[in-house]
Amino acid sequence: MTSIDAPSLQTPSLRRRMACWVYEGMLMFGVVFIADYLFSTLSQTRNAMDNRNAQQAFLFVIFGIYFVWFWAKGQTLAMKTWNIRLTDLHGRQVSQRRAFARYTLSWLWFLPPLAASWLIGLDVRQALVLAGGWIVIWAILSRFHPDGQFWHDALAGTRLVTSLPPGVRATAA
């Protein structure tokens, strides 16, 4: 395997990874809309507060299917847009089991501030500020990883790498 054929294990910049993260959130709006419509129709939910726990569990499963499926293939649509690929530590495609582990661990972006908000009894605005602060902290903590990876990737045995289209060479920046 020549160096041209060898997969690059260059970590994308934190700025690119966070831009991809935000774009992924926008794309997830469509997934949530369709999944919620399906859930509400099938469960005959008439009020947004009815079946709330079941609806949240359903969305958790739908998110899991979405992310595990695409991560096992290497990229979500947002990752393709930002030329980022998910691999194992050696640059190979991840298994569905490893993608599921990453999905579970990726909730570290949200669960700590949600749990703290619930325990402290914060209102929605305060909880959003806490969550935003935690997201910034969690992203910045990747600066302390030897390869610049997010810590949930390190725990899952995965890594985000730059994935340039065929024929495009990386330039030194």
Q: Which 8-state DSSP code applies to residue 149?
A: -
How far apart, in whole angstroms, are the C-alpha atoms of residue 44 and residue 60? Answer: 20
Q: What is the pLDDT along the chain (173 residues), one digit of tens a residue?
A: 333 344 568 999 999 999 999 999 999 999 999 999 999 899 888 887 788 889 999 999 999 999 999 999 999 999 999 999 999 999 999 999 999 999 999 999 999 999 999 999 999 999 999 999 999 999 999 999 999 999 999 999 999 999 877 666 655 44
Burial annotation 20-47 (CB, 10 A radius, 16+ → b, else e)? bbebbeeebeeeeeebbeebbeeeebee
